[in-house]
Amino acid sequence: MLPTPKKYFVTAASAEGKSFLTAFDNALLKARIGNVNLLRVSSILPPGTQYDPGLVLPPGSLVPTAYGYIVSDVPGETISACVGVGISEDTFGVIMEFSGKCSKEEAEKNIENMVKEAFATRGMELKEIKIASTEHKVEKIGCALAAVPLWY
């Protein structure tokens, strides 16, 4: 059985690269999660998980992460990625991810609506939303990424 994460942070970054994969990797590095192995998870923040914006992840670690990203090779195109963490008063939280060909503001609005819907669907009271987002205008090959890494 895997342990339940106890800490998290929200992050977003964008970058260019010479290929789709290196653009993605460069965005990961700028987001402070480029030297770990991401284990993609769905969207539940465990109960009692503490927000730690200065969290440093050990290189090479297996890190449960909810993330969204978009890569484009269309010069001049605007791409964005956003994550939102909905926090309840006394139980688990909900994480939502979004990426698309839109502005940062549009991405944030989508995330806010998604978090509110997730809480309403569950019949839970939303106490707070933490958001991280980025917008990128593609030069050659660009990536916009937003993530919520979870840690022990």
CB 66 within 8 A of CB 95: yes
* Helix (H) / strand (E) containing 147: strand 142-151
Q: Which of 14, 97, 99, 110 is catalytic?
A: 97
Nearest to 89 by CA among 124, 133, 138: 124
**133: annotated active-site residue:** no
Residues 38 and 19: their CA atoms lie apart, in Å, by 20
Q: Residue 42 catalytic?
A: yes
Q: Has 26 been annotated as catalytic?
A: no
The neighbour count for residue 91, using CB atoms within 10 Å, is 13
- Specify whether 37 is catalytic: yes
Q: Which of 43, 72, 80, 133 is catalytic?
A: 43
Given 19, 35, 37, 113, the catalytic residue? 37
Active site amino acids: 37, 42-43, 97
